[in-house]
Chain A
Amino acid sequence: MAYSEKVIDHYSNPKNVGTLDKSKKNVGTGLVGAPECGDVMRLQIEVDDATGVITDAKFKTFGCGSAIASSSLATEWLKGKTVDQAVQIDNMDLVEELNLPPVKIHCSVLAEDAIKSAINDYRKKNGLEELVFEERIH
Chain B
Amino acid sequence: MLKLPIYLDNNATTPMDPRVLEAMIPYFTEHFGNAASRNHPFGWEAEEAVDYAREQVAKLIGADPKEIIFTSGATEGDNLGIKGVFEMYASKGNHIITCTTEHKAVLDTCKHIERQGGEVTYLEVKADGLIDLKELEAAIRPTTILIAIMYANNEIGVIQPVKEISAIAKKNGILFFSDAVQAVGKIPVDVNKDGIDIMSFTAHKMYGPKGIGALYVRRKNPRVKVTAQMDGGGHERGMRSGTLNVPGIVGFGKACELAHLEMADDAARLSKLRDKLETALLKLEEAYVNGNREHRLPHVANISFKYVEGEGLLMGFNKNIALSSGSACTSASLEPSYVLKALGLGDDLAHSSLRFGLGRFTTEEQIDYTIKAVSDTVLKLRDMSPLWEMFKEGVDMDKIEWAHH
Contacts and interface: CB of A to CB of B under 8 A. Distances in A.
- Is B one of A's binding partners? yes
Contacts of A60: 384-386, 389
A39 interface: yes
Given A38-B329, A62-B309, A17 B384 contact: yes
B40 interface: no
B403 A32 contact: yes
Most B-side CB within 10 Å, residue of A14, A40, A62, A106? A62
29 contacts: A8-B315, A19-B389, A33-B403, A33-B405, A34-B405, A35-B346, A35-B347, A35-B348, A36-B346, A36-B402, A37-B402, A37-B404, A38-B336, A38-B351, A40-B386, A41-B386, A60-B384, A60-B385, A61-B384, A62-B312, A62-B388, A64-B311, A64-B312, A64-B329, A65-B315, A68-B384, A110-B405, A113-B403, A138-B405
Most B-side CB within 10 Å, residue of A11, A59, A63? A63
A61 B403 contact: no
Which 4 A-B pairs give the minimum distances between C-beta atoms? A34-B402, A138-B405, A35-B348, A36-B347
Contacts of A14: 384
Contact of B315 (A37, A64, A113): A64
Contact of B387 (A32, A59, A62, A106): A62
A118 interface: no
Interface of A: 3, 8, 11, 14, 17, 19, 31-42, 59-65, 67-68, 103, 106, 110, 113, 138
Interface of A is mostly: mixed
Given A65-B315, A67-B312, A40 B329 contact: no
Contacts of B386: 31, 40-42, 60-62
B1 interface: no
A68 B397 CA distance: 20
A37 B385 contact: no
B253 to A, nearest CB: 37
Contact of B311 (A37, A42, A65): A65
Contacts of A32: 403
Contacts of A34: 402-405
B328 A38 contact: yes
Contacts of B316: 11
Nearest to A43: B386
A34 B404 CA distance: 6
B304 interface: no
A134 B206 CA distance: 54
Nearest to A8: B315
Contacts of A64: 309, 311-312, 315, 327, 329
Contacts of B315: 3, 8, 11, 64-65
Interface string B306-329: 011111100110000000000111
Contact of A38 (B307, B309, B384, B388): B309
Interface of B: 307-312, 315-316, 327-329, 334, 336, 346-348, 351, 383-389, 397, 400, 402-405
Contacts of A38: 309-311, 327-329, 336, 347-348, 351
Contacts of A61: 384-386
B287 to A, nearest CB: 16
Nearest to B346: A36
A59 B386 CA distance: 8
B397 A35 contact: yes
A107 B397 CA distance: 21
A2 to B, nearest CB: 10
B405 A106 contact: yes
Contacts of B400: 31
Contacts of B347: 35-38
Nearest to B313: A64
Given A14-B384, A38-B347, A62 B404 contact: no
A8 B317 CA distance: 11
B402 A33 contact: yes
A65 B312 contact: yes
Given A64-B329, A68-B312, A37 B387 contact: no
Most A-side CB within 10 Å, residue of B328, B403, B404? B403
B282 to A, nearest CB: 21
A106 B400 CA distance: 21
A24 to B, nearest CB: 17
A11 B404 CA distance: 24
A59 B387 CA distance: 12
Contacts of A39: 309
A37 to B, nearest CB: 6
Contacts of A63: 309, 312
Most A-side CB within 10 Å, residue of B315, B316, B383? B315
